[in-house]
Amino acid sequence: MGRIFEYFVVCGLGPEMRTLDGDLGFHGLEFNYLPSLLDQFPPSDHSLYPPPPPQLPTCVLPAGVAFHSSGFVSSDPVSFPRSYPIVLTEGDGAKIFVSCIAFRDRVCEDVAEAYRLPPNTYADKCICLVSHAPNFRALRDSLEEIFLLCFSSEGSCKPLWDIIAYMVSNVPLPTPGKDRVLYAVENCLLSVEAPPEDSLPQADISLQPLVQCLDVDNLIKLFTSVLVERRILLRSNKYSLLTLVSEAICHLIYPFRWQQVYIPLLFFSGVDYIDAPTPYMMGLHSDVDTSNLAIDGVVVVDLEYNQITTSEEIPPIPEPEFSALRNDILKLLQPNVVGIDHLRGFGNSVEHGPKSFSKPWGEDHDLQLRVIFLKFFASILGGYRNFIENKVFSTDAFLKRRSRSTNQPSEPMLVQFLGSFAFLDYLERRLGSDENSTNLLEKLQDAVGRGQDAMSILPKSSMEPEIITIADPEVEEPATRYTYDRFPANVRSEEQEEKRKQILAVASGALESNGRHSPSSPPGKNTKEDSFSSRERAAERDRMVLDIKVKLQGLWLRLVKLGSDEDPLSSFEYGTILALIESDAEGIGGSGFIECIREHLKNSDWDGGLTVEQFIAVKELLKMAVSRAASRNDLSTVQYALEVSAEMFKKDANNVSDYVQRHLISIPIWEELRFWEGYFEYLMEQPANDSVNYATLVTARLIIVASHMAGLGLPDTEAWNMIETIAEKQKLGYKLLIKLRGFLSHVQQLRVGYWGASSFKQQSISSGLPSPRPKADASDDTQQPSEASGRSWVQSMFSRDTASRANSFSRVRKWVSDNASSDITAAAQKKIQTNVRVLKGHSGAVTALHSVTRREVHDLVGDREDAGFFISGSTDCLVKIWDPSLRGSELRATLKGHTGTVRAISSDRAKIVSGSDDQSVIVWDKQTLQLLEELKGHDNQVSCVKMISGERVLTASHDGTVKMWDVRTDMCVSTVGRCSSAILSIEYDDSTGILAAAGRDTIANIWDLRSGRQMHKLKGHTKWIRSIRMVEDTLITGSDDWTARVWSISRGSCDAVLACHAGPVQAVEYSTLDKGIITGSADGLLRFWENDDDGIKCVKNITLHNSSILSINAGEHWLGIGAADNSMSLFHRPSNAGTKVSGWQLYRVPQKTAAVVRCVASDLERKRICSGGRNGVLRLWDATINI
């Protein structure tokens, strides 16, 4: 039987002081300091439970440790102890429940002496009980008794830590519905029990704070926001309210469970998490400033002032369920509740709710409120079981039946709820287990159908629970009692005591060397490097590693558990891991991430299988981590990454392997002999069988090295030269050398047969997803678009089943196209340019780029051959105009007016127009640079703008509308189109009046603006549509479902599905001269498609780029490409190339530099390409000039 208490923990001021900013040492009494874990039971060397989470001290003392001149003063409420609960979430989503009491306690004499603190100085301290069981009352009552026993004048009969040790070690978890455990803390008898398993889940908190803080209408708004999985931010100046309200709303959505990010208490260090694009529920103290954060779309719930604000409408609960729910809650709340968190023995000393009422709120009120919300679910999901066939729920059929019964169209709230992760999780549990016998939702639906009372579904126990008594046999009335003037420290080991003395000695010595500073006059702030000794710096780095590793573990586990309909590359988890790897100069993020994967592979049943989207995300993170580790010569991290990459593969329906390791070939460290020598030495240090002789051991280790070289795709000659050099240094005999050479050749042949030949030096420029192709003779230079992915090829490589190997290769051969040809040869090396300019001016990420046409530029600067403008927008809310002809002073103008991130820019001969997250569209005069008009009417961020004829502007927004504006009158002419979700891309043909728009609703919508009607809703994609291109009667769409589609606008039909990419298709283009189609994807591949009498087929694929293709811009003779890894390329069609799309030839590529790019624009008339980076820097490449 498990124990209810896992840990008793004391947090407060440790022997080593650091300010909240991380500055070492004592800086004055007015500063707050980072809390430390001072004591715990069980001790840190036990193995029954995992250790307390390392972030626990920061969580329980969120404001840090402050100094005080006095302890508890009965006349000063500020000095009263505070009792509050906290809920922490682990990486796998499991909850840790913590009860805390924070109080002022006297600073230990050795700390006061070392830091020269005044006598009788007090500091904040917190005692905690930690458990995975949601027994808040037992945790709180037990902790309060320990606290009162410590500071009572009568004292205790045993040492306080002996009482704590017995309580934590011996109080068991009660059996649900059967046991009641009685235990004593000194002379106070306490009890704990759990409800029956067929009852509502245990909610050992009062729902009172929720109904105190929010009125009925706001309570329902919050409830609805949770159901449709919005981003929810709770604000309060009381930490207890944030936890209690978060837990209360989680109990009210039973039988559903919140599946998204859950952080009831978000502290200062994690405030940037509010910018996460994924749904979350977080709590943040009211004192934290969020004015510089983008909280558009976030539902902000102010618990102090009973207010809910959001920039996106919360869909209302449909009738008649809304009225029934509201009326039931109002009936229950007529007599209301009193204050919360009352700590016995100290008066009204702790945090109170914002209201108080006359009648106490009891457990029966909690139960009734939970049943009211369960009744709501029973009503709105009435009859849902009839729409489950073969373990599949038919959402469309259920919604149609409800629409007929209510005589109303499908309600948006219900549609969103049925598509939520919470509902899908419920269906999975309901269909995949025998929960049906205890499913209270279905029991309630049956009871209501029979006319029974809702409360009748709850079990009524006719038996008294069995009493289990836990008594300390050693308790007896002693001659003397133990009293304390402060909370006592636990007994320390000699090692702990010695370490404490060393830290305090260093602190005392630092004060001596800096001179004595009075507490009221702090010393000047030293930098962290100046204030750290070598030992302290090492200890600090260890703490940083531990903290980041814990964060990475949680992020990694959530990343590999993302649903099939989620995009890992756009997820909060991927972005945060990438930021940790990129931002940390010490490499803690990269090494911690790789160590995290190693631990996951070693200590779990995970087989490394990933979805294709997860595979792409993981390989990109590994490439970044290895690159950063190699740049700082951290060879051990590179070695670990090499081994991790060898163990990871993904599986798809074809069961063809894609190996993470082969995507690391672009990193130059694999060319270095010193790395492989170091890796060989590392392997030799690993344990081996004592009976194996030295030559055999060396051969076995070199075989491992050769396997990795083959997995990376190193050329045979380069790999053998390095292996031979290592072998000769080990004085290996020629027979074993011959064996090694044969093994390496065999491995290389298998790799080439499976993935195709590749040049290592080319890969440093043009690494991507190589195409699998068959073994072929030297005359065969064809190359197939990459489609292979699945089982680890190493498993096939070493399989003794030759038929299995042959079948594995034959599956790949089936996909080889006789007409596919590669355009990348060694000659590409000669096309590299270094004529790239860096344009600096933005202070935030560049989010929009626009290239001004030659005709527009002529109106401004005349017919100058080199003239050509780029216009950029950024998260710094600024629009900037750049003139590349002005070398050294390219910034021509800065336009100020927006208050949010600039997302879209367009222009004509006289005006510039920009759209922003501030929901506005601004029109600027191109000559005078004056703000002409500010167009307001959208209800969400503006995603697209386009200048059209007649002084008109088309704008599209995440509110799902397309609007047409007349800039002469500052008026919205009309809303010309509506989509059911955010619009991400639009196209307009001014000659025909045809408008196309697409986005998150997976539908491409076509309108004829001249007739004012919608022509078609083109359905076929299953995920977001990222890009569209319209030419005459043809519309091309690219989607996150990895396909592009070709549509006929007049017929409204799909003519072709282009499905060869291994990632979201983010850019599509139409080549007018040859009527070909060009697509670019997150897999880094550029594909050329030819349309002939036999249909559309891929005739060429290019692997120049390593990351997502963001932009494809085709002219008559020039083609510009830009990718997210800051790589660019320019293609040319010679006059003698004919009229086939395969006639495009690589012209030049610039020298690549490391950066993360968000947007790219091409000026093909002047052969320039410009990229905008996340660091706010523009990179301008002039492809016609060699330097």
DSSP symbol at 10: E
> What does pTM read for this prediction?
0.49
pLDDT at residue 34 tops 80: yes
For 612, the token pair is: 């294709």
pLDDT at residue 895 tops 60: yes
Q: Which amino acid is at 1065?
A: V
SS3 1101: strand
Q: What is the pLDDT of residue 912?
A: 92
Q: Could you tell me the pLDDT band of residue 865, with boundaries at 50, 70 and 90?
A: low
Angle at 582 between CA 581 and CA 586, to 5 degrees: 70
Q: What is the pLDDT of residue 637?
A: 84
Q: What are phi and psi of 805, to 5 degrees?
A: -65, -40
Residue 295 or 64, more confident: 64
pLDDT at residue 921 tops 60: yes
Q: How far is CA 384 from the centre of its chain?
A: 33
Strand partners, 468: 181
pLDDT at residue 793 tops 60: no
Per-residue pLDDT tens over the stretch 607-645: 556 777 777 788 888 888 888 788 777 788 888 888 887
Q: Could you tell me the pLDDT band of residue 513, with boundaries at 50, 70 and 90?
A: low
Per-residue pLDDT tens over the stretch 719-737: 888 888 888 888 877 677 7
Q: What is the pLDDT of residue 248?
A: 92
Percent with pLDDT over 90 in the chain: 17
Strand bridging mode 388-389 / 971-978? unpaired
Residue 459 or 676, more confident: 676
pLDDT at residue 804 tops 50: no
Q: Which amino acid is at 491?
A: V
Residue with tokens 């603190």: 117
The rounded distance, in Å, linking the Cα atoms of 823 and 831 is 13
Average pLDDT, stretch 1009-1017? 88
Contact indicator for 771, 783 with CB cutoff of 8 Å = yes
Contacts 24+ apart (CB under 8 A), 149-156: 149/185, 149/186, 150/484, 150/487, 150/488, 151/484, 152/483, 153/483, 154/481, 154/483, 155/481, 155/482, 155/483, 155/484, 156/186, 156/481, 156/482, 156/483
Contact indicator for 881, 895 with CB cutoff of 8 Å = yes
Q: How far apart are the first and last CA of the chain?
A: 75
Sequence-separated (6 or more) residues with CB below 8 Å from residue 591: 545, 625, 629, 634, 636, 637, 640
The rounded distance, in Å, linking the Cα atoms of 784 and 819 is 9
Residue 798 or 706, more confident: 706
Contact indicator for 493, 187 with CB cutoff of 8 Å = no
Average pLDDT, stretch 1100-1124? 84
pLDDT at residue 985 tops 90: yes
Q: Which amino acid is at 1133?
A: R
The rounded distance, in Å, linking the Cα atoms of 237 and 213 is 12
For 749, the token pair is: 């042949």
Q: Could you tell me the pLDDT band of residue 541, with boundaries at 50, 70 and 90?
A: low
Biggest CA-to-CA distance, the chain: 108
Average pLDDT, stretch 406-418? 86
pLDDT at residue 102 tops 80: yes
Average pLDDT, stretch 1107-1134? 85
Count of other CB atoms within 10 angstroms of residue 177: 16
Angle at 842 between CA 839 and CA 847, to 5 degrees: 100
Contact indicator for 1076, 1055 with CB cutoff of 8 Å = no
Cα distances (angstroms) measured from residue 364 to each of 208, 247, 324, 370, 639 = 11, 18, 20, 10, 60
Count of other CB atoms within 10 angstroms of residue 1011: 9
Q: Which amino acid is at 914?
A: S
**3-state percent breakdown (helix, strand, coil) of the chain, nearest 5:** 35, 25, 40
The rounded distance, in Å, linking the Cα atoms of 73 and 1032 is 82
SS3 614: helix
Residue 1108 or 653, more confident: 1108
112-123 exposure pattern, b = at least 16 Cβ within 10 A, e = fewer: bebbebeeebbb
DSSP-assigned letters across all residues of 771-788? PP-----TT--B-PPP--
The rounded distance, in Å, linking the Cα atoms of 907 and 1125 is 27
Alpha-carbon dihedral angle through residues 167, 168, 171, 172, given to the nearest 10 degrees: 180
pLDDT at residue 129 tops 90: yes
- Omega before 360 within 30 of 0, i.e. cis: no
Round the average pLDDT of the chain to a whole number and report it: 78
Strand bridging mode 307-309 / 299-302? antiparallel
The rounded distance, in Å, linking the Cα atoms of 705 and 945 is 54
Q: Is 819 left (phi over 0), alpha (psi -120 to 50) or beta?
A: alpha
For 831, the token pair is: 């096309």
Q: What is the pLDDT of residue 987?
A: 93
Per-residue pLDDT tens over the stretch 1041-1050: 888 999 999 9
Alpha-carbon dihedral angle through residues 507, 513, 515, 517, given to the nearest 10 degrees: -20
Count of other CB atoms within 10 angstroms of residue 532: 16
The rounded distance, in Å, linking the Cα atoms of 412 and 641 is 46
Q: What is the pLDDT of residue 785?
A: 28
CA nearest neighbour of 613 among 278, 1058, 1063: 1063
Q: Which of 5-9, 656-660, 668-672, 1142-1146 has the lowest mean pLDDT?
A: 656-660
The rounded distance, in Å, linking the Cα atoms of 996 and 1005 is 6
Q: Which of 41-50, 250-259, 763-772 has the lowest mean pLDDT?
A: 763-772
Contact indicator for 844, 873 with CB cutoff of 8 Å = no
Per-residue pLDDT tens over the stretch 1049-1089: 999 999 888 877 777 888 999 988 778 899 998 878 888 88
Q: How far is CA 142 from the centre of its chain?
A: 38
Contact indicator for 867, 883 with CB cutoff of 8 Å = yes
Side-chain half-sphere exposure of 625, counting CA atoms within 13 A: 31
Contact indicator for 1104, 768 with CB cutoff of 8 Å = yes
Residue 835 or 795, more confident: 835
Count of other CB atoms within 10 angstroms of residue 834: 9
